[in-house]
Amino acid sequence: MGCQDQEKKLFRQDFEAAIRNVKGKEKLIIRADMNGSEGKRREGYEEIHGGHGFGINEDGEYILEMAQSFELACMNTWFQKLDKHQINYESGVGSQIDYILVREQDKKNVMNCQEILRED
C-alpha cells in the first residue's frame, strides 16, 4: 500500500519471475502480504477462488489475474470463516491482505486456512 505504480510494477515482475522459476512438478506454496482484497466474486475464477473472500480492491484484481495465469488457487477464499478470522488489518473497513496460494492441483491437500488473531 502506498507504493508508487512503478514500484508495484517492478515487484510484480520479480514476483512473477520467481513463480516461473519453480518447476511444474515441484510443490509451490506462497504465503504473501499482497495488500489486495479479492472479494467473494467467483465469476471467471471458479478454479482459483472459493467464494469466501473479503472486500475488493485494485490489488485484489491483480491477485486474481496473476493467480489465474499461473493456475494458483487462493486458499483463503476456499474456507468460510467469521470476518474476524479472514481479515488481519482493520481501519474502519477490514481487508484481507495475506494470502496462501498453491497450485490448483494441490488445493485438495489444504485442510484449512485462517488468519491467526493477535493477542491484543
Give the Cα-Cα-Cα angle 26, 31, 36 (nearest 5 degrees): 125
- CB under 8 Å to 114, separation ≥6 — which residues? 79, 81, 85, 86
pLDDT for position 8: 87
Residues of the chain above pLDDT 90, percent: 32
pTM for the complete prediction? 0.78
Q: Name the residue ranges covered by the structural domains of the chain.
A: 8-106
User: What's the pLDDT score for residue 84?
Assistant: 63
Q: What angle do CA 111, 119, 57 make, to 5 degrees?
A: 60
**pLDDT digits 0-9 by tens, 34-67:** 766 677 677 888 888 888 876 667 777 888 899 9
In angstroms, rounded to a whole number, what is the distance separating the alpha carbons of residues 11 and 5? Answer: 10
